[in-house]
Structure 1
Amino acid sequence: MILFPPPLSSYPRNSPCYGQRVKMENRFGSKPKPATIKLKPIEATPETFQEFGQVVEASDDGDLFSSKDAQLDLTHGIPRLYIMKIEKRPLEFASITHHARVTQCLGSIGGHEWYLGVARPSLSENLNESESDLAKNGVKASSGHLYEPPRVEEIRVFKISGSKFIKLNRGTWHAGPIFKAESMDFYNLELTDTNLVDHTTHHFKENGVVFFIDD
């Protein structure tokens, strides 16, 4: 278990603790070095990933549409399907992103092994009254929606291997694709303007941590 101090933003500005943290950071010239949290990856299957979206595997030619196929929401814009080339993504991450208006699909061309850090959706519509603390911790995204930042203890890492792709539910936090190879190609299904108007990012430096994939 790693213990780390709360982020500076968690203290009221008029509290003694806030002043002490500011003095400490000024004294040492920078914030304390982030603590590294090591996460063991979970093999992505339809069962293990269902809280975050879907794992879609190969089906026989001629099979009819079913719940095993990607359940998509592309109603808020024009769909964009493209191949993205990614280089040098080491097994670590310090930020995480969600898209509130679209279900995103990601898959490795060639079925190579890759990883994805995730946290469950925390849009206001996803939270019931017992879970939600929006009045205290809610953040308004630049695109206008309200959400809670992801909780450090809820971050998970999945390993995706073979002929399958990931469908992320709307609002699912994700970091990646991440991989061991020098470069990889991925197909990506989202909207034409997803990266322009629907790209909300949380930086874990606010929590004083970074994540390392232990595999």
Structure 2
Amino acid sequence: MAATVKEVKLKPVEATPETFKDFGQVVGASPDGEEFGPQDAQLDLSRGTPRFYIMHLEDRPLKFSTITHHASVTQCLGSIGGHPWYLGVAKPSIVGPSDEVKKDGSVDGRNIKDSPWGHSYVPPAVDDVQVFRIEGSKFLKLNHGTWHAGPLFKADSMDFYNLELSNTNVVDHTTHNFRKKNGVIFSIEE
């Protein structure tokens, strides 16, 4: 556990299909009747019952110290009304069969952890965390294992639509605490 806490300030990047590609997809409006293609959300909801719902969130200031990933599902998030919001992210780090695990139990010099949900992962490094700003009629699709913190926003409250599995937050919710493990909290500055 870290003794002192350091604040790391992050400047948000506008979420576009190009800037967000390492974490998932940015999906915008398309004409009615357009056929399915790569511009559409590439979903995996095959490991359970899909849940599409509206989340009402309050008091989510532009700071975070924990980050979460879901190994069994892609997740979609978007604000109702297209109001601006922010999401802290880091690339997926689930350890798979193709990863070269060293004798000391590390991948690329970083220690492997076992999730209580049946998979192994490498915790994200402080320098791996980025923040994206999302606004307008678009949503984010997060790839399997994308670390995320948020949605965060300046307003007192906001509503978001969320597509995940019915039990994602019960059986697939791995969290890394940067304050406890790295002595860091993140703040978003514009």
Q: In structure 1, the residue corresponding to 2:96 is in which secondary structure? A: helix
Which of 109, 114, 124 does residue 95 from structure 2 map onto? 124
Contact 2:110 2:122 in 1 (8 A): no
- 1:100 matched to 2:74? The reply is no
More strand by share: 2
Which of 34, 39, 54 does residue 10 from structure 2 map onto? 39
Matches within 5 A, 1:72-83: 72-83=43-54
2:139 & 2:117 partners in 1: Cα distance?
Answer: 27
Change (3 A) 1:136 1:212: closer
What amino acid is the match of 1:213? I
Q: In structure 1, the residue corresponding to 2:160 is in which secondary structure? A: strand
TM-score, length-scaled by structure 2:
0.93
Q: Deviations over 1:164-201 (max 9, x none)?
A: 00000000000000000000000000000000000000
Q: Deviations over 1:138-169 (max 9, x none)?
A: 10000110000001101000000100000000
Q: In structure 1, the residue corresponding to 2:170 is in which secondary structure? A: helix
Alignment partner, residue 161 of structure 1: 135
Matches within 5 A, 1:125-140: 125=96, 128-129=99-100, 133-134=106-107, 137-140=111-114
Alignment partner, residue 187 of structure 2: 212
Which of 53, 63, 76 does residue 34 from structure 2 map onto? 63
1:125 & 1:39 partners in 2: Cα distance?
Answer: 30
CA RMSD of aligned residues (A): 1.9
Relative contact order (C-alpha < 8 Å, sep 6+): which is higher?
2
Where in structure 1 are there 5+ consecutive unaligned residues?
1-6, 9-30
Q: In structure 2, the residue corresponding to 1:121 is in which secondary structure? A: coil
What amino acid is the match of 2:34? D
TM-score, length-scaled by structure 1:
0.83
Alignment partner, residue 148 of structure 1: 122
What amino acid is the match of 1:122? S
1:67 & 1:177 partners in 2: Cα distance?
Answer: 25
**Deviation of the 1:102 alpha carbon:** 0.2
Q: Deviations over 1:65-123 (max 9, x none)?
A: 00000000000000000000000100000000000000000000000000000000000
What amino acid is the match of 1:113? P
What amino acid is the match of 2:155? A
Ranges of 4+ aligned residues in structure 1 off by more than 6 Å: none
Q: In structure 2, the residue corresponding to 1:175 is in which secondary structure? A: strand
What amino acid is the match of 1:42? V
Structure number, greater radius of gyration: 1
Q: In structure 2, the residue corresponding to 1:125 is in which secondary structure? A: coil
Where in structure 2 are there 5+ consecutive unaligned residues?
none
What amino acid is the match of 2:73? V
Q: Deviations over 1:30-77 (max 9, x none)?
A: x22x10000000000000000000000000111000000000000000
Alignment partner, residue 203 of structure 1: 177
Of stretches 168-177 and 131-140 in structure 1, the one that deviates more from structure 2 is: 131-140
Which of 174, 190, 193 does residue 164 from structure 2 map onto? 190
